[in-house]
């Protein structure tokens, strides 16, 4: 009977072992933009494409800023101080988001010196505009449960945000394995926006990724994460003086975004920092500044003379991301602790049943 119970527990756990996800859609003031399925490019998007639905593991991982092997996105889409930005997450195989334990946090960083479709975010200066943990009305439940139920999460951009190109880093941290050091799962995403207006604020409490978190931070290694009465300590910096005007769970996005045609010339919104789109250079670059191994030639460019309300495009066509080289994989494996979910779950189940 004990062995049967063990196998039943393993069977129940298996669906969660491989359950991961990604940012599938973002809507800005009601305008929806589709995100590409990881490693499956379909069309231009302002959301930087990642190579896998799996999490980033280890706080020193270089993928902490925008996700696994994140690539520069082609679109920089218009926004304003006070714009409403809704994030819709998805699980693999078009399922709902699979996790329900852990915080949601939102950061921004200005794309200094260039447009966001060209910006290497390795040294970006991030400031936190919002953080959400347990449900204030039900402290035994995390707001991430609502994301698992299919809801979206919406933030209102800071009112005094200066004009220019920004990355919005919206992140889910899944803590279902955080009772073990290194068990936390990070799902960062980056959306490229061009903010208009006349804001003059200067953000406080800026950080870099990696560097903002540590594996032993209380909100990342949390042995009491499943205790209903435990108080959660958010990792990272305090919320900046340039904070979201409001934020919270919102109903699922009612409209399904479609990708614009590849190569379609689009315009630069007024009030941007440079006022110029970027030209396709023959390859798409990764968010760390290197050339993407999967990019195909792009020759179009945006004129930078259009009207407000449309996006700019950078390099045009992209293909599926290729796997990292063996040397890169080996380097990543040696520098980052990547615990195996299955073995950890097995150990717990067998220990409990013995």
The pLDDT value given to residue 233: 97
Q: Which two tokens mark 275?
A: 């006022």
- Point out the least confidently predicted range of 89-98, 211-220, 290-299: 290-299
Contact criterion met (CB below 8 Å) for 120 and 66: no
The pLDDT value given to residue 263: 65
Q: Which two tokens mark 328?
A: 């890169």
Enclosing H/E stretch for 14 = helix 2-17
262: confidence class by pLDDT, cuts 50, 70, 90: confident
195: confidence class by pLDDT, cuts 50, 70, 90: very high
313: confidence class by pLDDT, cuts 50, 70, 90: low
Please report, rounded to a whole number, the percentage of residues in the chain having pLDDT higher than 90. Answer: 66
State the Cα–Cα distance between residues 55 and 101, nearest whole angstrom.
Answer: 14
The pLDDT value given to residue 254: 83
State the Cα–Cα distance between residues 173 and 232, nearest whole angstrom.
Answer: 13
Indicate the SS3 state at residue 104. strand
The pLDDT value given to residue 93: 87
Residue 208 has pLDDT above 60, yes or no: yes
State the Cα–Cα distance between residues 306 and 267, nearest whole angstrom.
Answer: 4
State the Cα–Cα distance between residues 90 and 69, nearest whole angstrom.
Answer: 19
């Amino acid at each position: 009977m004990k062995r049967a119970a063990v196998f039943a527990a393993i069977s129940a756990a298996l669906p969660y072992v491989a359950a991961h996800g990604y940012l599938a859609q973002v809507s800005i003031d009601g305008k929806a933009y589709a995100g590409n399925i990881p490693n499956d490019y379909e069309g231009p998007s302002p959301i930087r494409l990642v190579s896998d639905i799996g999490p980033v593991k280890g706080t020193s991982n270089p993928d902490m800023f925008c996700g696994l092997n994140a690539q520069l996105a082609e679109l920089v889409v218009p926004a304003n101080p006070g714009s409403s930005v809704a994030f819709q997450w998805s699980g693999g195989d078009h399922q709902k988001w699979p996790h329900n334990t852990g915080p949601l946090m939102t950061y921004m960083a200005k794309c200094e010196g260039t447009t966001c479709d060209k910006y290497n975010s390795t040294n970006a200066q991030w400031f936190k505009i919002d953080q959400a943990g347990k449900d204030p009305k039900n402290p035994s439940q995390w707001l991430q449960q609502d994301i698992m139920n299919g809801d979206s999460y919406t933030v209102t951009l800071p009112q005094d945000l200066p004009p220019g190109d920004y990355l919005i880093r919206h992140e889910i941290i899944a803590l279902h394995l955080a009772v073990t050091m290194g068990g936390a799962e990070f799902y960062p995403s980056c959306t490229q926006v061009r903010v208009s207006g006349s804001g003059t604020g200067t953000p406080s409490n800026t950080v870099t990724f990696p560097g903002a978190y540590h594996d032993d931070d209380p909100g990342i290694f949390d042995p009491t994460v499943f205790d209903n009465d435990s108080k959660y300590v958010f990792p990272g910096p305090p919320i900046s003086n340039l904070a979201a005007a409001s934020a919270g769970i919102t109903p699922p996005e009612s409209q399904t975004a479609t990708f614009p045609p590849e190569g379609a010339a689009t315009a630069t919104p007024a009030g941007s920092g440079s006022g110029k789109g970027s030209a396709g250079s023959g390859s798409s670059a990764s968010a760390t500044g290197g050339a993407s191994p999967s990019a195909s030639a792009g020759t179009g460019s945006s004129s930078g003379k259009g009207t407000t309300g449309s996006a700019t495009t950078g390099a045009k066509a992209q293909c599926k991301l290729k796997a990292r080289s063996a040397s890169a994989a080996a380097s990543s494996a040696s520098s980052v602790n990547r615990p195996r979910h299955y073995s950890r779950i097995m150990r717990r189940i067998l220990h409990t049943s013995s």
